[in-house]
Structure 1
Amino acid sequence: MSDILILNALMVNEGEVKPADVLVKNGRIEQIGRNLSHLSARKVIDATGLHLLAGCIDDQVHFREPGLTHKATIASEARAAVAGGVTSFMEMPNTQPATLTQELLEQKYQTAAAGSLANYSFFMGASNDNLEEVLKTNTENVCGIKVFMGSSTGNMLVDNAQTLEQLFAASPMLIATHCEDEATIRRHLQHYQDTATEPLTAKFHPIIRDTEACWLSSSLAVDLAKKHGTRLHILHISTAKELTLFDNKLPLSEKKITAEVCVHHLWFSSEDYDTLGNLIKCNPAIKEAFNREALWQALTDDRLDIVATDHAPHTLAEKQQPYLQAPSGLPLVQHSLLMMLEAAQQGRISLPRVVEKMAHAPAQCFQVRERGFIREGYWADLVLVDLNKPYTVGADNIYYQCGWSPLQGHTFSSSVRHTIVSGHLAYSDGAFDMSQTGKRLLFDRA
């Protein structure tokens, strides 16, 4: 008997929407077809009226473990991810201690193996002085190298020109970058501290961390990648100006330089600081509405390749501090798919393109093995959504350990009903099954 049989779904996959049944066995998709109701399975899901999607792969999250577990843990945020239809995540190295050695990197994998409901991978962190450790990274079972070319992460800032040259020249795998120019940010901050006639608040954030800061760093990263032939992926693009750096003429599989946009830069604008303040303070900053519209255009014309979250939880008490003391980042991984489904219902993007940008493209970009698509033989990472069942974000259904969301009180038109992770029905109508953890992502790289 097979594990799960999904009947009567509308499958959204590889540019098409069509009726399909799916049989899952031993963690993988055994069969896709029509009229499979004669088959037997331990669990049968009648998906009439539901859309079946490949599970989202979020290529940028901060789950705060080790060292910052008062904010979040790998286990808590993986649960939230699964409740939101995110079946796999790639987590960042700016924990305490920072993930700057192979030993610390492997410890994260052990933690995830013991408690992550979602599939997982972790970036190896680069600093100004750990190149030797970076070059030991296994290209088959680590998603990439993370370089912070901005001030978000304190001691992980890589600002030594020689180090950057060496990293881009020698990296055996994808380099993912956070790009903001530290000197520009410090200059702007000092200026407003010296001249402002009122206390600085979150509305100053996009002025201090402005377009120029993003452009200087992103253009440097692109120049280095072109010089050395590096596989570069620039995270959370937030400005219209940066979009000139990216190409939409090549298919994703042939691109050496790719880019990501995050859901909050597609959803909010600088006008929202008046009501949400520090709750939407993040790096790079949420900027003026014209940047948001340019990001949407670039997403639909393929200059931007991936939609992710940069999920970065902090406690509400931390966020309620004055602007300069409040940390940057907001929790989003539970609600990113709903945000994009909302955009699809508003006509901003098609449903197949949502799946492409949140599942297919991350799998292609990072060369994830046998995930990101609904294909026979692939791992069964699947999400069933109801586009006609509203869902209101409230204190009773937020699974982030921090317990809050900038979307609290918002009603989405859609709901996530069931999430299957590596063949395991991990989430179903508000209930979790923790009896099986996710799997370590593997990568097909020559």
Structure 2
Amino acid sequence: MSKTVIKAATVVNEGKIDTCDVLIVDGRIEKVAPQLAVVADVEINAEGLHLLPGLIDDQVHFREPGLTYKADIWHESRAAVAGGTTSFMEMPNTVPNTLTQALLQDKYDVAARQSLANYSFYMGAANDNLDEVLRTDAKEVCGIKVFMGSSTGNMLVDDEHTLQSIFASSPMLIATHCEDEATIQQNLARYKATYGDKLTPDMHPLIRSAEACYISSSRAVGLARKHGTRLHILHISTAKEIGLFESNIPLADKRITAEACIHHLWFSDADYAEKGNFIKWNPAVKTAADREGVWAAVLDGHIDVIATDHAPHTLAEKSQPYGQAPSGGPLVQHALQALLDMYHGGRLTLEQLVQKGAHNVATCFQVAERGFVREGYWADLVLVDLNKPYTVSRSNLLSKCRWSPFEGYTFKSTITHTWVSGKLVYQHGELLEKGSGQRLSFDR
């Protein structure tokens, strides 16, 4: 039996902030109380530090298999835990695409050997694999991913019969990437007719426009309402889409939920002049007004969770001209620090940060025994020093691609410790790499 006690931590959990001791026994939270008189194997003095449930990121691209020159589960899970993200849900547009149960299991096998964070993997949907999709175990897999707009990879589901069948028959949550491909192609043709090959990153939100997002999101919501589907729309990037979602019912009762991502809350189209392709994502970073609309929706409950869409590419790939540079970038190492800066800036409270980054993700996906600082739950925890600055540099980046849109930026807070399933995996800048993450399970 192993025991760890975290002493005098300022615990942020379930809408409250209290100074408590937390006892971890054999990986689980045994006791949370103001003062615990226990003899433990390890004692951590957390006086002056804040203890949060580890973030659960419901959307990452770790690129394994097939694209491991960009990223892999080992590197990206290290970046995750160093950044206070203790669990991730990874996307199926790897090579080969995760379109069969056998290929899905292959990814779980790699994670069991390599991942420092807890893990789950989406089953991918295509125009021709409905039988495989319907074999997915809802208790062991986070969801079904449907690309209703093309992104990195070749998984666009554009057959109407297939879409209707997936929404009508899915045994579990469907997560969608929503951008209307026809609208994007029309916009792209118009810009190419005017500018030829001289397209620039600031045109990205005009080509992958707000209207393209709204058309596709509206279609997904319509399908979900028609079939009673459990739908989760990823990376909302426009103010116009907010009206598609409800805010006045409990999250556990919602059939249609939505996610916002760090980059859409942080950047706007004004940042393309400085950042260029390094903030080129799909859906695109859009106007400041769109950013404010997404922020308002996060705070009033129209948008339920915050994630990253961590999607690394090599520095060489991102340094190409706009038309050749792929969309996506690394974010998982700095998601919590970015949110803490938003707290320092008065954008959200610590309670709201924990709700949107941990509690609500666990509720939305029905993750078993994680996402809260609760007795009996797995100890997925992160300690942060709110008043210790941290500067992002090439030397402290852990994602395999070794670049970040935050490079050179100084965050106001530092992550000091991270526990995954009760194991201390990160401490004061050092990855301890003891043990591994666990496969997430779901109460469905």
Q: Into which bin does the TM-score normalised by the smaller protein fall?
A: over 0.9
Percent same amino acid among aligned pairs?
62
1:338-353 aligned within 5 A: 338-353=337-352
Aligned to 2:398: 399
Equivalent pair of 1:234/1:259 in contact (CA under 8 Å): yes
Aligned to 2:3: 3
Which 4+ residue blocks in structure 1 deviate beyond 6 angstroms? none
Code of the residue aligned with 1:35 in structure 2: it is Q
| Pairs within 5 Å for 1:320-331 | 320-331=319-330
In structure 2, the CA distance between the partners of 1:413 and 1:393, relative to structure 1 (3 Å rule), is same
Matches within 5 A, 1:345-424: 345-424=344-423
Deviation at 1:185, TM superposition (A): 0.4
Alignment of 1:159-170 (within 5 A): 159-170=158-169
Within 1, Cα distance between the matches of 2:24 and 2:388?
A: 26
Q: How does 1:31-110 map to 2 (within 5 A)?
A: 31-36=31-36, 38-110=37-109
- 1:156 and 2:155 are equivalent in the alignment: yes
Q: Which residue of 1 aligns with 2:335?
A: 336
* Alignment partners' CA distance in 1, 2:415 and 2:432: 15
2-side partners of 1:29 and 1:397: how far apart?
A: 31
Distance in 2, matches of 1:410 and 1:153, equals 27
Q: 1:244 is matched with which residue?
A: 243
What amino acid is the match of 1:416? Answer: I
CA-CA distance at 1:434 after TM superposition: 1.5
Q: Deviations over 1:227-274 (max 9, x none)?
A: 000000000000000001000010100000000000000000001000
In 1, Cα distance between the equivalents of 2:311 and 2:153? 15
Deviation at 1:155, TM superposition (A): 2.2
Q: Which residue of structure 2 lines up, in the alignment, with residue 281 of structure 1?
A: 280
Indicate the residue corresponding to 1:27 in structure 2: 27
Deviations 1:394-418 (A, max 9, x none): 1111111100000001101101000
Check the 8 A contact 1:2/1:23 in 2, yes or no. no
Question: How high is the TM-score relative to the length of structure 1?
Answer: 0.99
The CA distance in 2 between the partners of 1:391 and 1:435, in whole Å, is 25
Cross-structure match for 2:429: 430
2:291 is aligned with 1:316: no
Cα distance in 1 between the residues matched to 2:433 and 2:399? 16
SS of 1:326 mapped into structure 2: coil
Tell me if structure 2 keeps the 8 A contact 1:80–1:333: yes
Give the 3-state SS of the residue equivalent to 1:277 in structure 2.
helix
Contact 1:2–1:40 (CA<8 Å) still a contact in 2?
no
Q: How does 1:133-152 map to 2 (within 5 A)?
A: 133-152=132-151
For the residue of structure 2 that corresponds to 1:23, the secondary structure is strand
Q: Which amino acid aligns with 2:49?
A: L
Q: Is the Cα–Cα contact under 8 Å of residues 237 and 286 in structure 2 kept in the other structure?
A: yes
Separation in 2 of the partners of 1:77 and 1:320? 21
Q: Secondary structure at the match of 2:154?
A: helix
RMSD, matched Cα: 0.8
Rounded Cα–Cα distance in structure 1 between residues aligned with 2:185 and 2:34: 60
Q: Distance in 2 between matches of 1:43 and 1:399?
A: 27
Distance 1:154 1:425, change over 3 A: closer
- 2:424 partner amino acid: L
Does residue 180 of the first structure (1) align with residue 179 of the second (2)?
Answer: yes
- Are 1:122 and 2:121 counterparts? yes
Please state how far the C-alpha of 1:48 moved relative to its aligned partner: 0.7
Quote the Cα distance in structure 1 between the aligned partners of 2:393 and 2:248: 42
Structure 2: how far apart are the matches of 1:230 and 1:84? 33
| Matching residue of 2:219 | 220
Q: Distance in 1 between the 2:143 and 2:275 partners?
A: 33
SS at match of 2:285: coil
Please tell me whether the aligned partners of residues 61 and 309 of structure 1 are also in contact (alpha carbons under 8 angstroms). Answer: yes
Post-superposition offset of 1:198: 7.6
Deviations 1:320-349 (A, max 9, x none): 011111000010000001111111111111
The Cα offsets for residues 142-168 of structure 1, whole Å up to 9 and x where unpaired, read as: 000000000104420000011000000
Question: 5+ unaligned residues in a row in structure 2: which ranges?
Answer: none
In structure 2, how many angstroms separate the alpha carbons of the residues matched to 1:220 and 1:34?
Answer: 50
| Matching residue's letter, 1:391 | Y
| AA in 1 matched with 2:277 | N
Q: Secondary structure at the match of 2:322?
A: coil
Q: Secondary structure of 1:155's partner?
A: coil
User: 1:322 aligns to what SS in structure 2?
Assistant: coil
How many equivalent residue pairs? 444
How much does 1:278 deviate? 0.5
| 1:443–1:198 Cα change, 3 Å | closer
For 1:142 and 1:337, the matched residues in 2 are separated by 25
Aligned pairs (5 A) from 1:192-211: 192-196=191-195, 199-211=198-210
- Please state how far the C-alpha of 1:195 moved relative to its aligned partner: 1.1
- Give the SS at the match of 2:41: strand
Residue 291 (structure 1) shift: 0.4
- The answer as to whether partners of 1:395 and 1:408 remain within 8 angstroms in 2 is yes
Q: Output the CA distance in 2 between the equivalents of 1:130 and 1:283.
A: 24
Q: Is the 8 A contact 2:121 2:142 kept in 1?
A: yes
Q: Is the 8 A contact 1:59 1:362 kept in 2?
A: yes
Letter paired with 1:27: G
Cα distance in 2 for partners of 1:115, 1:400 equals 14
2:13 aligns with 13
State the 1:433 CA deviation.
1.7
Q: Counterpart amino acid of 1:295?
A: V
- Give the Cα separation in 1 of the matches to 2:289 and 2:88: 30
Asked whether the equivalents of residues 152 and 327 of structure 2 are also in contact (C-alpha less than 8 Å), the reply is: no
1:441 — aligned with what? 440
8 Å Cα contact 1:331/1:400 also seen in 2:
yes
Name the structure 2 match of 1:306. Answer: 305
Contact kept, 8 Å, 2:197 with 2:323, in 1: the verdict is no
Q: Is the 8 A contact 1:68 1:95 kept in 2?
A: yes
